[in-house]
Structure 1
Amino acid sequence: MDSEKELSGKTVLLMAIATGIIVANLNYIQPIEGLIADSFQVSKAAVGVVAMLTQLGYAFGLLFIVPLGDIFNRYHLIQIMLSLSILSLLLAFWAPSLIIFGVASLLVGITSVAPQIIIPYAAYLAPSLHRGKVLGNVLSGLLTGILLSRSVSGLLGSVLSWQYVYLIAAIACTILLGVLHLYLPRDPRQKQHMQYGKVMASLPKLLAKEKHLQGSAINGFCLFGVSNVLWSTLAFYLAHQYHFGSGVAGLLGLLGITGVLFASIIGQMVDKYSPRMTVGLGILFSTLSFVIFTSLGHLFIGLIVGIVLLDLGTQFGQVSNQAIVQSLSLQASSRNNSIFMFSYFLGGSLGTFFGTLAWSNFGWSGVCLVGTIFLVLALLGHLFLKEPEKLQKVS
């Protein structure tokens, strides 16, 4: 296979845009949790559980659906999952009760896994010497989708009924489906003859075999967990501390542009220097952010600086860990990615749950304490399950 021919700049851009649009589905709920609670006349903690269901659904979709990328044609699998995601978004738009909305949110999470099929697909098509750079570019689209989803959701929630956020998301995904059908590269692999049961049974063996996969899974669990501790509670804190609405919470999401701008640079740093170093920087930036949230979170400027550092730390960890995971084996790339991203979003769902629980019982100080616990775990994983100094150049 001619990787240079298979993966042009336009194709990388399309993959980045696709990951951003689809992953956005997971984060629309965060700035509008208060609006949803008022609409259904339930507690903020109840809506926090629904937000957790989205992340948890995504984690299980990663575990049980993403490994199919090592069996089935990825060109078709991506489009099938996107179609199911559209139906789930429409159910969320229509939902007349919190229970149905919770079911819809769980399905949105389960079906929005196409980005994690696209990422190993991009790694498979990319030249091995530039894999980190390509993944950095695709992941910049992923982070853009995350931060813009918060902004779009918050702003739309301030001028329209919150349900329209999900209708507009369904329309965007429908347009994307048509574009991917026309322009996504066909999967060049020969038909795979593995059975689903054997593929799933191989996941624990891969995790036990690959020490670096273990390290990336723990690091991703912690760094995405600590990110969601903040983003699941920020709208509540802004309303309590400053009497701001969902629009401001959405605008603060734009501060994550720092991570987007650095994504490609981080990918190049991973290629040129050491993924262990860049993972360490991710932990450092995330830790500094919570030091600022704890000491200066009562000041608006403190929130701004902390959010910038947190998103930068999240991106350092995400790009570095993806590069490590995708350097282990191209034949098992979807399965390795499934294990890593399952742990990643399991951490995110627990960060959402414990963050909102801490807010409901202990306020901002409780939120900062939960974030600190995740960061201590990240540091212990970094010290005892050491990341590689250099990426393996598999082909």
Structure 2
Amino acid sequence: MASSAAQQPSLHNAARPDTRDGPRRGTVLLLAVAVGLCVASNYYAQPLLGTIAGDLGMSSASASLIVTVAQVGYALGLVFLLPLGDLLERRRLVCGLTLATSISLALTAIAPSGALLLVGAALTGLLSVTAQILVPFAADLASPHQRGRIIGTVMTGLVLGMLLARTASGALAIVGGWRTIYVVAALAMLALTAALHRALPQFRGTAASSYPGLVRSTARLLVDEPVLRARAAIGMLAFACFSVLWTSLAFLLSGPGYGWSDGEIGLIGLFGAAGAIAAQLAGRLADRGLTTHTTLVGAVVLLASWGLLLLGAHSLVLLIAGIVLLDLAHQGVHITNQSLIYALRPDARGRITSAYMTCYFAGGAIGSALAGVVHARAGWAGVCALGAVLAVALCLVWAASSVQRARMRELRSVASAAFMGAGLLALIAVVLRLAA
């Protein structure tokens, strides 16, 4: 391991973790691959649930819990694991988590029963938040002028990991059964652990607090940082739009208008690759200080995409165009948000990520829940109307936060704008509940 230390200097000062030239291209690409593999581990099971249920004698309801426990594990990881990045030596933490992920994937691969498989899925979901530790680590390593570009590159790996996980698991299941993907993934994570230990520099967080104090201070950051509040609300609404689409799209494509099979519906997800393009572009624009413009364009495109998606009920071309635009806008806004929040507190990037991503995934969960209710009552047109309302809310949050910054900068009144989106989501849920 001494050779790796000679190749790259250790970084111990959290106040200035970046080097003059930033990380090497190979290190950035390795981080992108690492993020992709970490996040992919949470998606392998989704296309295999029927096969797994048949092999282990699980009911369809029990098999669906594989996805549920993975999501619960991920949520717990966001709250309880991410703050460790501000406290522990970062390379050792990341390598420990990827090694543990390899073990959890191996446990899933050899699981003789549904109960043990659920344990493996929960642990894998918990540990897959390593991806969200690696993203701020990349921001720490980057020099300020290249931070947006590097974050965009790493996030491209995350998008591709989410996109290709289902495709890879389905293909390997055909070759060697559903366990094959978990064996391959466990070996890949083991190799990744060795590569990260060799390539990454050492970096220890300098948070002057105990672990319980760090967890408490994560919520406090939302109170103390107006930009974080506003960007958390914008991210929450953007991911809510994304979840509304992908939760209800299968209903449209399997319905009488299209009548597609499960395999054909799965292929539509490949158009999500547009998000990888947006990640790169948004990161480069953020480096040029154009975050206001990218957020505005993303919000407007997000709103416009729902018009195309509405027309897409009877036109595959327009449906695909709407999907591509929505994915471009969602990823563009998300990368812009990350570029801004990582510039706030270099000593607290782990906790900032925890606060932001918790709000972000809460928006996704709320969007999915609302989409199911709305589709059952109002069909695809209702889903598109819901998506448009969420996009309008995002535009309002952006406008309100921008006006407040221009007038009085860091006033706490920005908080009302930041939580406007959450209020609108809650109002929609209450109205639907009362109307049921």
**TM bracket (short chain):** 0.7 to 0.9
Q: Secondary structure at the match of 1:80?
A: helix
Q: 1:151–1:249: 8 Å Cα contact kept in structure 2?
A: no
- Structure number with greater CO (CA < 8 Å, separation at least 6) is 1
Instruction: Write the distance in 2 (CA, Å) between the matches of 1:42 and 1:54.
Output: 16
Alignment match, 2:427: none
1:48 Cα deviation after fit? 6.2
Does 1:203 find its partner at 2:223?
Answer: no
Does 1:303 find its partner at 2:319?
Answer: yes
1:154 Cα deviation after fit? 4.7
Does 1:213 find its partner at 2:228?
Answer: yes
Alignment match, 1:42: 60
Cα RMSD after superposing both structures: 3.1
One of 93, 98, 102 as aligned partner of 1:86: 102
Deviations 1:86-123 (A, max 9, x none): 33334444556666555544332221011111111111
Alignment match, 1:288: 304
Deviations 1:321-360 (A, max 9, x none): 1001101010111111111111112222333444455556
Deviations 1:294-332 (A, max 9, x none): 221343323321221121112101110100110101011
Say which one has the larger Rg.
2
Alignment match, 2:331: 315
Instruction: Write the distance in 2 (CA, Å) between the matches of 1:328 and 1:49.
Output: 38
170-179 or 120-129: bigger deviation: 170-179
Instruction: Write the distance in 2 (CA, Å) between the matches of 1:75 and 1:69.
Output: 9
1:166 Cα deviation after fit? 3.6
Alignment match, 1:275: 291
Instruction: Write the distance in 2 (CA, Å) between the matches of 1:92 and 1:266.
Output: 37
1:78 Cα deviation after fit? 0.8
Count of paired positions: 386
Alignment match, 1:19: 35
One of 349, 367, 374 as aligned partner of 2:365: 349
CA, structure 1 residues 295+20, in 2 after alignment: closer, same or farther (shift >3 Å)? same
- Structure 2 gaps, min length 5: 1-16, 407-436
Alignment match, 1:393: none
Q: Using the aligned pairs only, state the percent identity.
A: 34
CA, structure 1 residues 166+375, in 2 after alignment: closer, same or farther (shift >3 Å)? farther
345-354 or 14-23: bigger deviation: 345-354
Deviations 1:187-242 (A, max 9, x none): 2x476653111212212221111111011111111212222233344445434454
TM-score (norm 1): 0.85
- Structure 1 gaps, min length 5: 390-395
Within-5 A mapping of 1:380-395: 380-386=396-402
Q: 1:82–1:173: 8 Å Cα contact kept in structure 2?
A: yes
Q: Secondary structure at the match of 1:332?
A: helix
Instruction: Write the distance in 1 (CA, Å) between the matches of 2:95 and 2:173.
Output: 29
309-318 or 147-156: bigger deviation: 147-156
Q: 1:55–1:346: 8 Å Cα contact kept in structure 2?
A: no
